[in-house]
Structure 1
Amino acid sequence: MIKIAKNRVSVWAVIGAVLFMIGQVVTNLYLPNLTSDLVNDGVAKGDVSYIWSVGGKMLLVSLLAVIFAFGNVLLAARTSQTLGKNLRRDIYQKVLNMSDDEFDQVGTSSLITRTTNDVIQIQNVAMVALRMMIMAPITLIGASFMAYQKDAQLTSIFIVVIPIIVVFIGIIMYFAVPLFKAMQTKTDKLNLVFREGLTGVRVIRAFVRDNFEQNRFDGVNRDYTNNARKVFSIMAAMFPVMTLVMSGTNIAITWFGGHLIANQAMPIGNMIAFMTYAMQILMSFMMLAMVFVFIPRAQASADRIQKVFDLKTRILEPKDPKKFSTDEPAQLDFDDVVFRYHGAEKPALIDVHAHMKAGQTLAIIGGTGSGKSTLINLIPRFYDVEQGAVRVNGLNVESVSKHDLQDQIALVPQKAVLFKGSLRDNLLYGNAQATDDELWHALEIAQAADFIRESDGLDTFVEQGGDNFSGGQKQRLAIARALVKKASVYIFDDSFSALDFKTDALLRQALRQDKTVNQAIIVIVGQRVSTVADADQIIVLEDGKMVGLGTHQELKENNEVYREIVDSQIKEGSASNE
């Protein structure tokens, strides 16, 4: 946990909080002593002037205690919230730079839990640490010393009381700490099921699986609730038992102290001060108990967050990165590429090779699971090849910085992703400096201008995930966003699947006629032969192996796998360029 907090909080703020807390504890310990003097030397002797004098001191000390407490709370709150803010920032930054392999190791739901619930646990323990964790031991030692000074005989009461408290707190921790740790894992499961239910609500309704999903959610919800009930029921037992112990302690102090006062062995003011110190001692134990309960849960959260930070990326930045030349024409090369997913026995891609120049289109076709998306994910270096090389503009993608590489690439993923806000904001993701004319030009090429004009133009509101657009509209807007970017390589990962044949043909024709796009390389992953037929080169994949490379006509005549794809689509009436 200290490792998590290091460099994420101000050392001076921590020191300030500690100093304020020490001041608060000292004033709190001094007040009962003043009360004792007030009773012994003022009230008992009827000395009004002394009462006023000591009363004034008590008022001043109380004011100082309030100031110290306020300073401590302020700095503790600012420190804990700053720690939470910096942790969330760093986790988010780590996630943005993760490779797909690393992301899959943790999972979306768990990352959400770690960024929210786990960070809150660490914030809470940081607040507790700068309050209770400092206050409790100092108060315990100080109050014990002051109580002993007031009457050494009465301190023998603590020989009985303290072991009872320690045993009780130990029992509570033994049962509560594992349950607190389990709550984080159960929160992960709850978030997972809830998130799947929200994102898949249409599928759930379509298959009439409402009751099944409700029962599934009820199961994890009940599991979480039962765990929470157990742990908080155990914790709830602490307060009545501690109240009972405190009351019993007060009775014992009053009983034995009364006998000492009757025998004139102790002034009455000392007994009043001793009772206050006794309560401070017992409250210190209760605070320590709370701290010991908070810490294991926060430590579990810190370990989970640290695991995210400790994930070793296999996509390393080059030590001496090369720079792309602005004068070099666009170029894309696959040099006998072999790729294997982490931990997989068999390679996902074997001996893939192709060489493309500016103005050319490379298409990739194959059956489901043949490795089409895997191949294009190697271009922006979402994964690194095992053998061979991928080159963009003549440079091995592993020899340039990821930022420079991905700045040369515009990608439209399989699932069109739009962000909540205006359409203009979404399109400017491709190029923050683009003018409105350039945005409209991209919309024209993507065959999206017509339905955008019918709405509010570039100010059209985009709901979360683009849910106010159809699947085909979202794909066209995602394509337009990529076209706004001035890239060397435009990648369309099955990005025409939701388009009708006419729109598909018009869009591809517009791409071929655009001067800017003609200076780049287009990579198209497609399922339909009509989408890839016009490409300059077509890679045919089967089970990760490149079984064909050539034009549509060449492959149709010479490649059995490609011919089977064409024949199957002709029978379905979906191939228009045979």
Structure 2
Amino acid sequence: MSETTIEQELRREAKERHGRPTRPSLSLLASLVAPYRGLAVATLVAMLFDLSGMLLIPTQLSAMINTAVTTQDASEFLVHGGLMLAAALAGSAGYITSTWLASRLCANVGRDLRMRVYRASLSFSATDFNRFGTGSMITRTLSDANVVQQTLLMTILMIFPVPIMCAISVGLAFATDFVMGWVLLAVTLVTLAISLVAIRGTAPVFTRLQGFIDAMNARLREAITGVRVVRAFGRERLTRERLDETFDAYARNAIRVNYVFATTDLMTFFIMNGVESLIMWLGADRVGAHAMQIGSISALIEYAMLILFFMMMAQFAMLSVPRALACLDRAVEALEVSPQIRDAEECKEPAMVGEEVARFDHASLRYADADEDTLRDLDFSIRRGQVCAIIGNTGSGKSTVAKMLLRFCDATEGSLRFGGVDVREISQETLRSHIAYVPQKAWLFSGTIAENLRHGRADATDEELWHALDVAQASFVRELPDGLDSRVAQGGTNFSGGQRQRLAIARALVRQADLYVFDDSFSALDFKTDAALRHALASELAGAATLIIAQRVSTIHDANRIVVLKDGRIVGLGTHDALMQTCETYRAIAQSQARKEDIRG
């Protein structure tokens, strides 16, 4: 079967990654483990007790057969039996303790990795988010971190003990019989070679598997989110085929990995049975030649079985190591992103005392991946006690103005001052604490209405929440059985578009900010509610500055100053009446929304 487009893209990315050093990934892992050095040392000590108990049991069994059985001395039985029991108890205690400590260590490492990736994503610019994608960031934060956590646990419990177990077992075998020592050493080296070959073959496949998880997350998220559009246009079959393509590609690569697992396990089991037969055959010959005692055969078989058992478990764990390294590489990619928006070394406090709250001083903006400016030479101010409005055709850059105020992006030319200070000299936390923002898409979080409103201000009282709801014309909340404690689904999907917008506006009013930014926040409201809301806001926000980004002329009709944008440039600036006389772009927008005789001026 030919490769799909997704498989070809992932194979191309793997080739680009080939040859890159894994040192950054290992450095990241080391930095995650470093705070828990004490826990790691305690785990290793407990593990030594576990291994010591395992190795003492066959040693004492051999001694019991060689002495107690041949001499028929009951005291020898009791001595060696008691030592075997003590070894078993010590080994069990060591195993339980080491497993608990290792699980705790790995859980802490996994948590810290998730937090690092998530915190890094909080500093991403819009370009960075577009580069990675939401589905990929979710995979890197959750799935990849889980893979690293589980692989680290398996490495500690299944791989770390192998060198110790092999070294001591082979040493004991040599001490028991020189020939048998060479047999165990040869078996150990052969099994190790098989494991390395298997790992080398599965490493690139594991890397691609994580890419397939990204692709599945992205496509499944898109299909579920847009299910109404899919059904409305009858595209269920096409969507299903696209998802099937991704699922089939993942399944094919997963089958390859499972085939390697099965083959490796089969070879290991074959070696185990062959070694057991070989030891018994050679042991019988050596015992007959009086070169070794009969009890030593049981000890050698136990040593061989322990080596092969641990090697087999290590194979299982080692096959997951390439996948974990791929996940760490992906985490490093996210962590090494240099934020385009960062705080200055010495931040200043804005002076919120004058009338001018914010000012665009010949500010222009060009995104890093763009060929031309999105906004050009913006020069206007937003004043306290006034309403400044921005209107323009689709794609004129209206919402980008709000992003600049919130420092989601910075001016590439000119400057934007807030409280008389360049926003690049104000910490992002301080700047945004003075701004209340209502986004274009009213997003609500799962929880209650009260919890959503308190995103604006955590210490707001219930009275303040009700007041904000009344101003936002969200009277429907009073009609709900649970009022402020009514449940909100993720995204607010259990409310209509207009209800979500009013709740988002109420959340902004709770903030009690110096500047209120409404980014096309009235589009889902009917004209009557829109008018009532604007009337209520006029008195509520009299002491603050207000910026309204709108598409409807009726929404901004009474604004003190209207900025008209076209292709990122200001083509009109003034009141509604003045712009109707002087600005052709504004007049065309107004005339397209209402009959000529209903337009003032």
With the shorter chain as reference, the TM-score category is over 0.9
Whole-Å separation in 1 of the counterparts to 2:185 and 2:352: 81
Q: Does 1:392 align with 2:418?
A: yes
Cα pair 2:563 2:570 within 8 Å, conserved: yes
Task: Name the residue aligned to 1:520.
Answer: 544
Matched, 1:238 2:268: no
The offset of 1:21, in angstroms, is: 1.2
Per-residue CA distance 1:241-294 (angstroms, 9 max, x = gap): 211111001111111111111222210111111111112222343244334322
Residue 559 (structure 2) aligns with: 535
The residue that corresponds to 1:376 in the other structure is 402
Cα 1:63–1:498 change in 2 (3 A) is same
1:538, 1:132 → 2: CA distance? 68
1:563 lines up with 2:577 in the alignment:
no
Deviates more, 1:357-366 or 1:324-333: 324-333
Against the structure 1 CA distance between its residues 543 and 228, is the aligned structure 2 distance closer, same or farther, given a 3 Å change threshold?
Answer: same
| d(CA) in 1 for partners of 2:463, 2:313 | 65
C-alpha displacement at 1:181, in angstroms? 1.5
Asked if structure 2 preserves the Cα contact closer than 8 Å seen for 1:31 and 1:58, the reply is yes
2:475 to 428, 431, 449: 449
Q: How far did residue 160 of structure 1 move?
A: 5.3
For residues 275 and 101 of structure 1, what CA distance do their matches in structure 2 show? 61
2: CA distance, partners of 1:349 / 1:18? 60
Tell me if structure 1 keeps the 8 A contact 2:140–2:327.
yes
Runs of 4+ more than 4 Å apart: 326-330, 575-578
Equivalents in 1 of 2:513, 2:251: separation in Å?
Answer: 52
Following TM superposition, by how much is the alpha carbon of 1:45 offset from its aligned partner in structure 2, in angstroms?
A: 1.6
Deviations 1:371-405 (A, max 9, x none): 11111110011111111111222221111111110
Name the CA distance, whole Å, in 2 between partners of 1:296 and 1:11.
24
**Aligned partner of 2:369: which letter?**
G
How many Å apart are 1:456 and its aligned residue?
A: 2.9
Q: 1:576, CA displacement in angstroms?
A: 6.0
Instruction: Return closer, same or farther for 1:571/1:137 CA change in 2, 3 Å cut-off.
Output: farther
Q: Alpha-carbon deviation of 1:49? A: 0.8
Q: Secondary structure at the match of 1:554?
A: helix
Q: Contact 1:34–1:58 at 8 Å: present in 2 too?
A: yes
Closer, same or farther: CA 96–188 of 1 in aligned 2, 3 Å: same
TM-superposed deviation, 1:224 = 1.1
Contact 1:360 1:521 in 2 (8 A): yes
Query: Match of 1:148?
Result: 174
**How do 1:246-395 and structure 2 match up within 5 A?**
246-325=272-351, 327-329=353-355, 331-395=357-421
2:348 touches 2:426 (CA, 8 Å); kept in 1? yes
CA distance in 1, matches of 2:432, 2:567: 28
How far apart are the structure 1 equivalents of 2:95 and 2:293? 31
Mapped partners of 2:382, 2:104: distance in 1: 56
Mean Cα deviation higher: 116-125 or 391-400: 391-400
Is this contact kept in 1: 2:124–2:340, CA < 8 A?
A: no
Aligned partner of 2:521 in structure 1 is 495
Deviation larger for 158-167 or 275-284: 158-167
Map residues 179-198 of structure 1 onto 2, 5 A cutoff.
Answer: 179-198=205-224
Q: Distance in 2 between matches of 1:162 and 1:577?
A: 92
- Cα gap change, 1:454/1:78 in structure 2, threshold over 3 Å: closer, same or farther? closer
> What is the deviation of 1:326?
5.5
In 1, Cα distance between equivalents of 2:433 and 2:350: 10
Q: Structure 2: 5+ residue runs without aligned partners?
A: 1-24
User: Which 10-residue stretch deviates more, 539-548 or 134-143?
Assistant: 539-548
* Equivalent in the alignment of 2:510: 484
Corresponding pairs, count: 575
CA gap of 1:546–1:329, structure 2 versus 1, over 3 A, is closer
Change (3 A) 1:274 1:178: same
Structure 1: 5+ residue stretches without partners? none
Which deviations, in whole Å up to 9, do the C-alpha atoms of 1:475-502 show, x marking residues without a partner? 1110111011111110011111111111
Normalising by the residue count of structure 1, what TM-score does the alignment of the two structures yield?
Answer: 0.96
Instruction: After TM superposition, give the deviation of residue 312 of structure 1 in Å.
Output: 0.5
Across the aligned residues of Structure 1 and Structure 2, the Cα RMSD in angstroms comes to 1.8
Q: Which amino acid aligns with 2:428?
A: K
Q: Which amino acid aligns with 1:174?
A: R
